[in-house]
């Protein structure tokens, strides 16, 4: 079953859409889904990954509203059917 990424702020602008569906599902990982997203929308890669190919520290990855980097198993978090993924750039306020 496909999984949908929700993209916010400049990430949506770079991807050309706020919603991108990838062919990742139950049993795949968040990292697998991110890899597919970056393959389909290559303009995101430089904004999301650093020079070593690692996720930039200021990028937040959520699964069903939970930050997988803080509250789950990071990019190794397994997907379940119906999961919603989101990618957030840094947010600042004033």
pTM greater than the 0.95 cutoff: no
* Mean pLDDT score, 30-42: 97
Q: Establish if 93 belongs to a structural domain.
A: no
pLDDT computed for residue 19 by the predictor = 98
- For the chain, count helices (H), then strands (E): 4, 5
Report residue 19 as tokens. Answer: 């919603």
The structural domain count of the chain equals: 1
Residue 77 has pLDDT above 70, yes or no: yes
pLDDT computed for residue 90 by the predictor = 81
- Alpha helices by DSSP H, 1-94: 10-15, 30-40, 45-48, 68-71
Confidence of residue 45 (pLDDT cuts 50, 70, 90): very high
pLDDT computed for residue 92 by the predictor = 64
Residue 52 sits in a domain whose CATH number is 3.10.20.30
For the chain, what percentages of helix, strand and coil (3-state, to nearest 5) are there?
35, 25, 40
Residue 83 has pLDDT above 80, yes or no: yes
């Amino acid at each position: 079953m496909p999984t949908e990424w929700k993209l916010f702020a400049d990430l949506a602008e770079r991807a050309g859409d706020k919603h991108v569906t990838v062919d990742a599902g139950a049993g795949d990982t968040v990292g697998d889904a991110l890899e597919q997203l970056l393959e389909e929308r290559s303009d995101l890669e430089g904004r999301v990954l650093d020079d070593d190919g690692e996720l930039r520290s200021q990028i937040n990855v959520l699964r069903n509203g939970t930050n997988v980097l803080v509250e789950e198993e990071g990019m190794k978090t397994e997907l379940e059917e119906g999961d919603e993924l989101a990618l957030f750039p840094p947010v600042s306020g004033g």
